[in-house]
Amino acid sequence: MSSDLYIYYRVAAGNAQQFDQAAAKMQAGLSLQYQIATALKRSPEIKDEHHTWMEVYSSVPPDFTKIIDQAVAEHGLAALIDGPRHTEFFVNISSCA
């Protein structure tokens, strides 16, 4: 069963442009290498001088969190993220009764 990965965290509003460019580059590389769909989202409002950001990865392989952790380190994203990265997997379910 394939699963989708959602990762959310906070980034200072002043770092938004730099973070957006680095995260988009990281996701483009992961998408190409692993043939997965990706999305990068950001909350529209600023709360406590931060935006909440979310990375989305569809139909990922089982060990993808290790791959993401390595990619985050390689692209310098950790230095731009304030606090922990929250990771959640979701699976598709059938809604047939």
Identify the CA nearest to 23 among candidates 45, 52, 55, 49. 55
Total count of domains within the chain: 1
Residue 14 has pLDDT above 70, yes or no: yes
pLDDT the model gives residue 93? 82
The CATH number of residue 81's host domain is 3.30.70.100
Please give the mean pLDDT across all residues of the chain.
Answer: 94
Q: Retrieve residue 88's tokens.
A: 């959640």
Residue 97 has pLDDT above 60, yes or no: no
Q: Residues 64-95: pLDDT tens digits? A: 999 999 999 999 999 999 999 999 999 988 66
Q: Is residue 97 part of a domain?
A: no
Identify the CA nearest to 48 among candidates 13, 83, 79, 72. 13
Q: Tell how far CA 69 is from the center of its chain.
A: 10
Using the 8-state DSSP alphabet, how is residue 62 labeled? T
Determine the structural domain holding residue 34 and report its residue range: 3-91
Indicate whether this model's pTM tops 0.75.
Answer: yes
pLDDT the model gives residue 71? 97
Tokens 């409002």 correspond to 45
